[in-house]
Structure 1
């Protein structure tokens, strides 16, 4: 049952049939509920896009709050909504079921502060060192704070550093164990004013240590190897029987089954993803 708190012409609050009425950030919202049918490929792709995006942002709560909070002011959205919308639309690549993050397009903050010059990152003993031009002017201040985000796709143990240095320092150091330092790393940096009223767009500092295959790619490779192994066995038997029959295809039922499997596997390998190299 829904309740009309503001009279017959006001917004309902509750359930009417298969509709649910509620307030979200001060705005009246209605959504449909009920059983879902079998999802289409487009729906499955949408589900995976949301899952991949959610996983990317799952360890970035503080960074996203600062990086998108200014945009969210005065709107019905929050910082996480805006970040989710951007990355789902702009920072994904590939097709279902192999949708993944394009780290070059990730934006963990968006604002009006100009980009800082001469940003560089390097691996040093015991961690990472990031450097930049510490100059200040009317728009870039000495006391601007430095925010760094290190994404670790292999382990999912991303690290956010929300006030790791001041602009005036011109560099910062992030300590890391050797094992972490040598895995795939995707680093980002942003600058935010001391009063939190201005923020820069985040800058992608570039991939470190290359990329690793995701779970879907690993499964595809394993499947390809299994099919290829079986095909090699069947092809060897197929060829040897043709050779033994002086180049002619044997007419017996066993060979017909073998030939059918040979043709099926051959066609399957032509279109199967996961081929090495």
Structure 2
């Protein structure tokens, strides 16, 4: 792959002959078309494809959350790609083809803001209620930091999240979930984001919760 400056014909996007033109972060580049392969994929290739499909399938529906949670690490790559790499490296377990996501190892955000202390989750009246301890004067924390919450229902492959919940100083927040979640087991994560949205904490997996 090579980069190029606009010539007399300007930049181009898409396939022209045997090359493909595109751009990323303002950098124009072109690459040759890949040659089709008649070889069957190796076991390792099949494993990597399965893991990638699982990672992107889990993260894509919450890309708005991921783009905020990993924004600070998006250097010469997208926030989504950083999160995907983390999930691939840390949170997919099992032996192909029986792969699973280890939810406690999933991070929905990663940063230097002081995280929550002692978060806990319960459920009542089709809500997930999250509480935490007051650490508003610890490290980089501020009382005005906002809660970021994620609830995932694996049985229904559905998510509920917020990127601007209650203040750190409130010590509690809640998320409404669909009525048909009642009786299902969900997974709950939490992080904080600064009021100016410039800093995030590394998320914490709280627990499984049965929706009541």
TM-score category by the smaller chain?
A: 0.7 to 0.9
Higher relative contact order (CA 8 A, sep 6+): 2
Q: How does 1:23-172 map to 2 (within 5 A)?
A: 23-27=23-27, 28=29, 30=31, 32-37=33-38, 38-72=40-74, 75-137=75-137, 139-172=140-173
Rg (Cα) greater in structure: 1
How many Å apart are 1:145 and its aligned residue? 0.7
Query: Is contact 2:121-2:209 (8 Å) kept?
Result: no
How many Å apart are 1:121 and its aligned residue? 0.8
Deviations, residues 83-107 of structure 1 (Å, cap 9, x unaligned): 1111122210012111221101100
Q: Given the superposition, is the C-alpha separation of residues 14 and 55 from structure 1 closer, same or farther in structure 2, using an over 3 Å criterion?
A: closer
> 1:270 aligns to what?
none
How many Å apart are 1:23 and its aligned residue? 2.8
How many Å apart are 1:22 and its aligned residue? 3.4
User: Which structure dedicates a bigger proportion of its chain to helix?
Assistant: 1
Scaled by the length of structure 1, the TM-score of the pair is 0.66
Scaled by the length of structure 2, the TM-score of the pair is 0.84
Distance 1:31 1:92 in 2: 33
Query: Is contact 1:151-1:185 (8 Å) kept?
Result: yes
Distance 1:123 1:178 in 2: 12
> 1:208 aligns to what?
209
> 1:176 aligns to what?
177
User: Which structure dedicates a bigger proportion of its chain to strand?
Assistant: 2
Runs of 5+ in structure 2 lacking a partner? Answer: none
Runs of 5+ in structure 1 lacking a partner? Answer: 210-277
CA RMSD after TM alignment: 2.6
Structure 2 counterpart SS, 1:52: helix
How many residue pairs match? The answer is 203
